[in-house]
Structure 1
Amino acid sequence: MKTLGQGASLPKRGHNGGPRLDNERSSRPWGKGPVGTYYYWRAAHDAAWRNIPRDTVLRRLERAASIGLTWREYTLEILERGRYLSLPDDSARIAEIKAARRSRRRMAD
């Protein structure tokens, strides 16, 4: 990365400016380097997962159960891609999510 003055640096091309997602060990929650936009990202994350109307939660829970996903997996798909998954149209994507779930479980063991 190119270095700017005062210890700041330009992110690589395609970087969205958010905090690191790898599991780097650090005493600070934003990892190594300057705090940057960590607190803005934290606030946006909290806002996306909190204060969801009860009816919306129940509707998503019902739809998630009907296609074999958890509420969190279904909601994450909506937040990340803006897609409301349904069978049979999105069966390939649903299978990908379930496969990722299995690989996460294996890594946790």
Structure 2
Amino acid sequence: MTAPPGHNGGPPLEEPDPEEGWRLHCWRQAHRRAWRSPGREVVLRRLARAEALGMSYHDYTLEILERGRYL
């Protein structure tokens, strides 16, 4: 069996990860839950605060999700 072009034919540098598929599934589920609309009142409050700070709703929500606190 020959190696494909550009491959030196050596062993892989990293071991295959048997949990990779499960982590990807968990990440996708968490991402969906995080970006699901929390409700009209919350969205309007975030939108007003984002506009007051000169940010978009998306950027403001991303800051909340990343830092875990409100600006």
Could you tell me the TM-score, scaled by structure 1's length? 0.47
Bigger RCO (CA 8 Å, 6+ sep): 2
Residues of 2 paired with 1:66 and 1:41: CA distance? 32
The number of residue pairs the alignment matches comes to 58
More helix by share: 2
Give the one of 44, 60, 64 matched to 1:78: 64
Give the one of 45, 62, 68 matched to 2:31: 45
The DSSP-based 3-state class of the residue aligned with 2:21 is coil
Give the superposition deviation at 1:39.
1.1
Runs of 4+ off more than 6 Å: none
Q: Give the fraction of aligned pairs with identical amino acids, expressed as a percent.
A: 48
Residue equivalent to 1:106: none
**Pair 1:61-2:64 in alignment:** no
Which ranges in structure 2 are unaligned for 5 or more consecutive residues? 1-12
Residues of 2 paired with 1:77 and 1:68: CA distance? 13
Residues of 2 paired with 1:8 and 1:56: CA distance? 39
Q: Root-mean-square deviation (CA), in Å?
A: 1.9
